[in-house]
Amino acid sequence: MAVWRYLVLGFGLLLAAPALAQLEFDYMVGVAEDRYDTLVLNARRDGPPDELASGFEKRAGNVARRLWVIVREQHPDVMNARLDVLVLADLAVPFAVLGRGKIIADRDYALSLSDEAMAAAVAHELAHLALSHQKKRLALGMALMGSDVPQRLDQRVRLAMRLSSSPAESRAIEAEADSYALKLLQAAGMPREGLLEALLALRGRMQDEAWFSDVAPRVASLRAELGLDPSMP
């Protein structure tokens, strides 16, 4: 009789393992999002942005919410995030989206964009949310950890994100986001050429960065998609 009890218990644990693994993964996603949210909140402790940056936040926020309606129609399983656009000074990256729908933009880069380029940059960042890129990167990093897994969850999150940040993986993710952004802009009736302007501004800003070479193929691919000469500088 005791043998059957052990068999039933073992079978139950076997069935529960995937659910427990998913629960742990979801918790790790939350840890990552909390970490990024804290970084943003710390960066805004000095007070509200100036008038120009505040105007950009309002315009970009309106565009983000308009595009997000389309994203939710196409991806009903994606999170129902409250979207906010925040302009910060001296960011390491010009434009990015955090896990809970906070889009952050470097002030100098943001204010250099036309409204069409701003909308395209927002569309690109929403593509990362729609396609669950952060979760995919976290899952890939966890798979790459192997047996060397830190005990603390926050350390595991940092290690997983670092392991999944290879140049090849980053290029694939950015290309996928560019492709979806074009479709999103078209669905919203917005000029797709704005994405080319946003990328060219990014390329000009990142000339001295190690990953500048990753932007050039994106520009060439986008020119071809828009029916322009991909060999143009």
Domain membership flag for residue 190: yes
In a domain, 13, yes or no: no
pLDDT digits (tens, 9 = 90+) for 185-194: 999 999 999 9
pLDDT, tens digit (0-9, with 9 covering 90-100), for 101-118: 788 888 899 999 999 999
* Cα separation, 87 vs 64, whole angstroms: 14
Residue 230 lies in a domain: no
Domain assignment present for 232: no
Asked if residue 87 lies in contact with residue 49, where contact means CB atoms within 8 angstroms, the answer is yes
Position 113 in a domain = yes
CA distance between the termini of the chain: 77
Tell me the C-alpha distance between 8 and 13, whole Å.
9
d(CA 151, CA 159): 11
Q: Is residue 17 included in any domain, yes or no? A: no
Output the domain CATH number for residue 185.
1.10.390
Residue 8 placed within a domain: no
Domain tally for the chain? 1
Q: Would 144 be classed as within a structural domain?
A: yes
Going by C-alpha positions, the residue among 179, 157, 170, 182 that lies closest to residue 209 is: 170
Least confident of 119-123, 126-130, 155-159, 223-227: 155-159
Rounded (10°) CA dihedral 4, 5, 10, 11: 70
* Range(s) of the domain holding residue 150: 27-225
What pLDDT is recorded for position 9? 43
Q: How confident is the model at residue 207 (pLDDT cuts 50, 70, 90)?
A: low
For residue 186 the two structure tokens come to: 């078209």
pLDDT digits (tens, 9 = 90+) for 120-153: 999 999 998 888 887 777 777 777 776 666 666 6
Q: What is the pLDDT of residue 216?
A: 79
